[in-house]
A and B are shown apart, each in its own frame.
Chain A
Amino acid sequence: MPRTPIEPQFPTERLSILDSDGLLDAELEPKIAPDDLKRLYRGMVLGRRLDERMLKLQRQGRIGTFAPIKGQEASQIGTVFTLEARDWMVPSFRETAAMLWRGWPIEKILAFYAGRLEGGQPGPEQRDLPVTIPVATQLPHAVGLAYGIQYRGEDSVVMVYFGDGATSEGDFHEAANFAGVWHGPVVFVCQNNQWAISVPLKKQTNSRTIAQKATAYGFPGIQVDGNDVLAVYAASREAVDRARAGNGPTLIECVTYRLGMHTTADDPTKYRSEEEVKAWEQKDPLTRFRVYLEKKKLFDPSVDEQVDEEIARGVERFEAMPPADPLEMFDHAYAELPPHVAAERAEVAARLRVPGGDAGAGSAEPASPPMRGQRRTSRWTP
């Protein structure tokens, strides 16, 4: 009875096509139509510029805390680009570029970060879930959506985003395991940006790669240079095609870097060095892709201007939104308000009708019931 090696079914590979110096592996270069190459760049720029604008809006107090995406544009655009409208996109909370690509209006994204849940409402036909904040909890939802797709015999796929920190959560493992067992059409996109707030990857996992975690669940995992939009696209194309063909899930680990802070409430200088950030700035996903486009004579120098104009219009629409109506907090709590919640709603409505917000006198709120012969205990005797 010998000890025999069991070959891993899926070896873990790393894919890089366009490196940070702009050098291209022509053999691996994916065939992407010129217009699409331009759209990819524009999507990345839009993500970057909106991020910068949001930082200003946050500092001015016009929106609240948010998670900047700077540095992760290629990981998001290279993957989301491979989805069709009939596919599902399941974000975590750092996918602004991918959400813009999927058609989320800028004013909705801003509204969400201004504390308004209407900003989390996908369009009527949009197959996107809203931003999910508790880490990794959206992953099982993606697997359930994929089950629905299988159940109805559709050929859609589900793409779900998460970070390196999420791979430590139980929900990641449960979702990956369910997806493997059910062989569902799910593409797991891990944006490994090296830092979960202040905790570096080496304290998050002792695995050499995140991609290899897929092996344990019986489906392929691939590591890609997440700042190389061509590599991200190629891996994603393969994964989406595999899922659509009924050949099950894939885990894509995009090795990237969060150039900014975790959220606007965070100071990354406390836990990481300037040298490290500078080194990653040299690997900026936009820079190398711009060089690639220039070589192909596809670079449009007016992109920044166009994008800024689009953002300006979005910010205008955001600012033109009427103030949040407090009563709307009751609109989406239940399909039909239970009587006691309807009474709570009436209470708020009454308060809102009274100047100064005091419902004490003359309001529609029911008066207190009369007291039956007030008890005169010694405490109350003058």
Chain B
Amino acid sequence: MAKLNMVKALNLALLEEMERDPDVVIIGEDVGVDGGVFRVTEDLHRRFGGRRVIDSPLAEAGIIGASIGMALYGLKPVSEIQFSGFAFQCFHQIENHAARYRQRSQSRFHCQMVMRMPYGGGVRALEHHSESEEQFYAHIPGLKMVIPSGPRTARALLVAAIRDPDPVVFFEHKALYHASKEEVPDETEVMPIGRAQVAREGRGLTLIAYGAMLRVALEVADTLQAEDGVVPEVLDLLTISPLDHEALATSVGKTGRAVILHEAPRSFGPAAEIATSIMEGAFLSLEAPIRRVTAYDVPFPGFAREKANVPDVARVLDAARETLAY
């Protein structure tokens, strides 16, 4: 067991998979000599050389499009889009081809590829560096959308994503990169994609979160326990698509109440799908309307106003108490 932050944990996953499988290559802007702007690919260029850790030209569609070609050939590219806000310049490649190639070629080809993207706010960054866009990817059939919540899940899910035969968009929250260290097993750990994890067992209310929102949910749970005598359950989704409908039904079937957190804007966001899933899977257990605590339906307002937009403990606590009192 080593205590690693999320950057080091992701780096470890890449290192392990590159050592294990010579078909794994890394491609992106500044991922080579520089080790990536967040240092996730640090030292890999030195170890594996420029042929496997490719400093690409500055062009997102080129990166994803070429990665698709590599995957069709039989390589397993792990691409890095420097910030998720820039991924719209390759969105067409992801939607038109990465997600569809298995279907388009009727399984003659498929795209075993991971598209890593730092996302999320709270790091005082400029626009297009602070957004959460998971809903766009979660809506695309054929694609998987994974968001780890800390070093251990980041490592284990990135390994799973690299080994997954289907294309995976892998979001890494920037505020989590250096937020904390966590014990990460020495042996390669693989967590199944498509499974949520109960981060804390409880009763009376389920707080549903992923990525950096998990920390907020856990803090809210602490406060509720200390001040209200309620021990809520906290569910860490980890995979946005395919959603773990069973875990949602099981948890809310037990607790009867749900508050869903995300940083993406509210309308048509993941919480809408999650709420529907709960309604379908645990309707008879519901004791209160499902609440969503999310960013508002406005474009990114600049980091000076970001705190008012991204859900924080106070907002979630209010929603949780209202739900409990319903």
Contact = CB atoms under 8 A, between A and B. Distances in A.
A358 interface: no
B65 A144 contact: yes
A339 B102 CA distance: 18
A334 B106 contact: no
Interface string A129-142: 11010100101111
B29 interface: no
Interface residues of A, number: 44
B143 to A, nearest CB: 9
A349 to B, nearest CB: 18
A372 interface: yes
Interface stretch (A171-179, A197-205, A221-229, A254-262): A171-179
Interface stretch (A8-16, A34-42, A114-122): A114-122
B70 interface: yes
B70 A148 contact: yes
Given A137-B93, A147-B70, A333 B246 contact: no
B62 interface: yes
Interface in B177-198: 194
B65 A140 contact: yes
A333 B167 CA distance: 11
Interface residues of B, number: 46
Interface string B70-97: 1111110100000000000100110011
B68 A332 contact: no
A335 B165 CA distance: 6
Interface in B201-237: none
Nearest to B142: A333
Contacts of A332: 102-103, 105-107
Contacts of B108: 121-124, 126
A324 interface: no
Contacts of A140: 61-62, 64-66, 68-69, 93
Contacts, number: 139
B104 A117 contact: yes
Contacts of B67: 144
B92 A134 contact: yes
A170 B61 contact: yes
B73 A144 contact: yes
A340 B70 contact: no
A338 interface: yes
Given A141-B72, A177-B59, A372-B284, A171 B242 contact: no
Given A134-B96, A178-B62, A340 B245 contact: yes
A141 B97 contact: yes
A275 interface: no
Majority-rule SS of A interface residues: helix
Given A339-B242, A340-B243, A178 B103 contact: no
Contact of B62 (A118, A134, A175): A175
Interface in A142-165: 142-149, 151
B141 interface: yes
Contact of A137 (B25, B92, B284): B92
B65 A174 contact: yes
Nearest to B22: A151
B57 interface: yes
A148 B70 CA distance: 5
B242 A340 contact: yes
B55 to A, nearest CB: 10
B303 interface: no
Contacts of B72: 129, 141, 144-145, 148
A198 B206 CA distance: 57
Given A147-B66, A178-B59, A338 B105 contact: no
B321 interface: no
Contacts of B77: 144
Contacts of B105: 120-122, 129-130, 332
Interface string A61-89: 00000000000000000000000000000
Interface in B39-68: 51, 56-57, 59, 61-62, 64-68
Interface of B: 25, 51, 56-57, 59, 61-62, 64-75, 77, 89, 92-93, 96-97, 102-110, 141-142, 164-166, 194, 242-243, 245-246, 283-284
15 contacts: A118-B106, A121-B107, A122-B108, A122-B109, A129-B72, A140-B68, A141-B69, A142-B69, A171-B61, A171-B65, A174-B57, A178-B66, A333-B141, A335-B110, A339-B194
